Chains A and B, each alone.
Chain A
Amino acid sequence: DAGVIQSPRHEVTEMGQEVTLRCKPISGHDYLFWYRQTMMRGLELLIYFNNNVPIDDSGMPEDRFSAKMPNASFSTLKIQPSEPRDSAVYFCASSPEGAVNYGYTFGSGTRLTVV
């Protein structure tokens, strides 16, 4: 089991550029979550999917942020245009149906720096 795989591990981009973060959940996991971690705000849930369908995107900060899950093995979080205040570590996590209340499995994160 390779765990939750996120790419890239690090991303440095210039303000105004589009950024795409990628996540491959654990095979068979029906729930996928995107979190953002910053010093000021801690760990914030941005959006989560169940069976590839977005269930709650109330944590997405602005229209510049969008997330998709085209299939059960892949999700993207896109920021367009990026701003320096988007600099953070973005985590993806997944969980199986029926065991989501057992907690999630997190990926190693993508550290985004917008300059």
Chain B
Amino acid sequence: AQSVTQPDIHITVSEGASLELRCNYSYGATPYLFWYVQSPGQGLQLLLKYFSGDTLVQGIKGFEAEFKRSQSSFNLRKPSVHWSDAAEYFCAAMDSSYKLIFGSGTRLLVRP
């Protein structure tokens, strides 16, 4: 069955430190891949997406993600985290059905 896995439930980083959130997918073919962010009490905002081509994609708020076909991964990174980045991050995948399947999310905590 198609699935998206985010192995880390919580991650805590210090402000100014680098960040990497992990995501793995299980699909028959390479799906479209997405990262969304959800602040408390808010909806989901699209950070970035990957379809094909360059495996390093840039998004909003200084985030980037790298697609690695060999590892079925699409990890999210940021070189320097700000306190305002504290939120929950969701990796998601979509195939030709247009159904967006989400991972379980990773909650990011930022230490001052």
* A contact set with B: CB distance below 8 Å: 4, 31, 33, 42-43, 45, 48, 56, 91, 93, 95, 100-109
B47 to A, closest residue via Cβ: A103
18 A/B residue pairs, CB under 8 Å, sorted by A: A4-B43, A31-B98, A42-B105, A48-B98, A56-B97, A56-B99, A91-B43, A91-B44, A93-B44, A95-B98, A103-B34, A103-B36, A103-B46, A103-B49, A106-B44, A106-B45, A108-B42, A108-B43
A48 and B99 form a contact (CB under 8 A): yes
Which of B43, B97, B102 is the one whose CB lies under 8 Å from A109?
Answer: B43
Interface of chain A, helix or strand or loop or mixed? strand
Q: Mark B20-47, 1 if CB is under 8 A from A, else 0.
A: 0000000000001010100000111110
Nearest CB of A to B7, in Å: 14
Counting chain B residues whose Cβ lies within 8 A of the other chain, the interface size class is 20 to 34
Interface majority SS (helix, strand, loop, mixed), chain B = strand
5 additional contacts (CB under 8 A) given A42-B103, A45-B100, A107-B43 = A43-B105, A91-B43, A91-B44, A103-B34, A108-B42
Residue with the highest number of chain B CB atoms closer than 10 Å, among A42, A91, A101, A109: A101
Q: Are B99 and A106 in contact (CB under 8 A)?
A: no
Determine how close the nearest CB of chain A comes to the CB of B101; give it in whole angstroms.
Answer: 7
Asked whether any CB of chain A lies closer than 8 Å to the CB of B90, the reply is: yes
A102 with B49: CB separation less than 8 A? yes
